[in-house]
Structure 1
Amino acid sequence: MEKYKTLEIVQANSNSQVFNLYLNRPARRNALSRDFFSEFPRAISSLDQDPNVSVIVLSGRGDHFCSGIDLSTLKDSFGGTKSNNDLGRSAERIRRDVKGLQAAITALESCRKPVIAGIHGGCIGGGIDLVTACDIRYCTVDSFFSVKEVDLAIVADLGTLQRLPRIVGFGNAMELALTGRKFSAMEAKSLGLVSRVFDSKGAMDEFLMGIAEGMAKKSPLAVTGTKAVLLRSRDLTLDQGLDYVATLNSVLLQSSDLAEAVSAQIQKRKPVFAKL
């Protein structure tokens, strides 16, 4: 498996189909560097394509989940320099750069396998971009959050302004994004940003791993199909969404997974599904 400068991939245990993906710059509070934006989509793609991986757990090494985009990355990418004093070419370069950074975050949604975020400490700016692109979010009671970009004189452009309103509601997202204020784990729970809050990182990790291992034992076609339908249905009308899932299931219902699930229920045993 590839080695990364900003990330670490660790299998939960030798028999597990759950893999931990760690943001691994603890000395910089896991700030998102230029290397991260290159490495992250490659890491997600490698996990997605690996048949031994069923569930991915995203968390951070050290005391914080993520302190946001590294300021050096901002300076290097958008420091106000012009290409040959041509505003048009400068704007085109910046737009292309932003689209590349966006694609690194969107890799989480493009991944077929479910991604669970385990958040502790600070989750700031780019950290919000990451977790809102994940499928499930948990956090510790000492976690804190901020949509910080407005305080850096920029408009958040990596997905928070598109994904957060769908999670916490338009009005709540507007207030958080315009103020940039810090909010607590309990407020994140009340807003629906996270599903549960835990007293300690150990307690969160234990619960999260139980959830992930249980998910990994389910039909991989059912799990990946459910993720795909939920994400696709965000942008469809009800009728369109029903049509999409009908088309998807016209294929998936022919899988041997359905027969195995029914047989296991009748025989009162745990089902065993082929890897994806």
Structure 2
Amino acid sequence: MTEYQSLLVEQQGHIAHIRINRPQKINAMDAPFWDEMVRAFDWVDQTDSVRVAVISGEGKHFSAGIDLSLLAQAASGMGSDIGRNAERIRRNILRLQKAFNAVDYCRKPVIAAIHGYCIGGAIDLISACDMRYASRDAVFSIKEIDMGMAADVGTLQRLPHLIGDGIMRELAYTGRNFDAAEALRMGLVNQVYDDHGALLEEVMQLAHTIAGKSPVAIRGTKEMIRFARDHSVEDGLNYIASWNASMLQSEDLKLAMQAHMTKKNPEFKD
């Protein structure tokens, strides 16, 4: 498997576990992180034996967001021409966005297991995941406003679909901290667990359950949910009709129905 500087990537059965691995820096997202996320999720997407991905953080925290040294480097590289500076900044932002677009567009479900700090860029990351679970000590914040900038790698675009427009605006405008209990109430996370150990145990069990389903059916379900987010109901219905015109011919359908009737657990091909 590819070597990584900022991530730990391993496959456990049908589950890919991707851990942000800079605990001495509160898992801040440094320069290698962004390219490594693209590579890691390309591997997840292309590896048929991987059916679900879990993202977590090493050490005491999930992630403190973007490493501020990246912003300092960007500022130091500016020249005297405004147009060229702007084009350079825009190109770099689009490159960073690819890291979390890779999560959003991954064919496999992606689950975030969040403990400790989940700040700034970490909110962008979990917003791109399919589901989010937290331990009781989790602390969240859309911190970019306190850095004098607007969040630019996905939070403002994806979060309103998860928690609603009004509460998203409050959090984005104020940058205030909120805890796991509030995150659960607003629907940002699906469940809260007592500690990091219980969190990972339950998330891995959930991933195992999903991995036991038809990969073809999971792929179609994720694609339809993601498509519906950005399209009308009519467009979504038309798309699923076209999609299932082929996918309902899969052997998985016959296997699942037979297993249901015989009350046995089906075993699907990768």
Partner of 1:137: 132
Q: 2:119 aligns with which of 124, 133, 150?
A: 124
Pairwise CA distance, 1:267: 2.1
Q: 1:82 aligns with which of 65, 74, 78?
A: 78
Aligned mates of 1:82, 1:33 — CA distance in 2: 19
In 2, distance between residues paired with 1:41 and 1:256? 32
2:71 is aligned with 1:40: no
Gaps of 5+ in 1: none
Look up the equivalent residue of 1:172 and give its one-letter code.
Answer: I
Write the distance in 2 (CA, Å) between the matches of 1:62 and 1:112: 28
Q: What is the deviation of 1:11? A: 2.4
Q: 2:10 — aligned with what?
A: 10
Q: If the length of structure 1 is used for normalisation, what is the TM-score?
A: 0.96
- 1:174 pairs with 169, 178, 198, which one? 169
1:205 corresponding residue in structure 2 = 200
CA displacement at 1:10 relative to structure 2: 2.1
Given candidates 244, 259, 262, the residue that maps to 1:264 is: 259
AA matched with 1:116: I
Letter in 2 for 1:17: H
Match of 1:153 in 2: 148
In the alignment, structure 1 residue 103 sits paired with structure 2 residue 103: no
Name the Cα RMSD after superposition: 0.9
Task: Report the count of equivalent residues.
Answer: 270
Q: How far apart, in 2, do the equivalents of 1:271 and 1:144 lie?
A: 40
Task: Determine the C-alpha separation between the residues in 2 that align with 1:219 and 1:174.
Answer: 38
What's the secondary structure of 2:159's corresponding residue?
A: helix
Cα distance in 2 for partners of 1:81, 1:218 equals 49
Q: Deviations over 1:21-40 (max 9, x none)?
A: 00000000100011101111
Distance (Å, rounded) in 2 between the aligned partners of 1:265 and 1:123: 41
Amino acid at match of 1:124: I
- The 3-state SS of whatever aligns with 1:8 is strand
Q: How does 1:57-72 map to 2 (within 5 A)?
A: 57-72=54-69
Partners of 1:172 and 1:165 in 2: how far apart?
A: 8
Q: Deviations over 1:139-178 (max 9, x none)?
A: 0001010000010111100000111111111000000000
Q: Does residue 241 of structure 1 match 2:221?
A: no
User: Any stretches of 5+ residues in structure 2 without a counterpart?
Assistant: none
Identical-pair percentage: 47
Which residue identity is paired with 1:69?
I
Partner-residue secondary structure (3-state), 1:56: strand
Paired residue secondary structure (2:209): helix
CA–CA separation in structure 2 for the residues paired with 1:81 and 1:52? 43
2:25 matched residue in structure 1: 28
In the alignment, structure 1 residue 214 sits paired with structure 2 residue 209: yes
Partner of 2:16: 19
Q: By how many angstroms is 1:218 displaced? A: 0.3
- State the shift of 1:102 in Å: 0.6
- Deviations 1:166-201, CA, capped at 9 Å, x for gaps: 111100000000000000100000010000000111
Equivalent position amino acid for 1:119 in 2: I
Q: Aligned partners of 1:67, 1:205: CA distance in 2, in Å?
A: 19
TM-score, with structure 2 as normaliser: 0.98
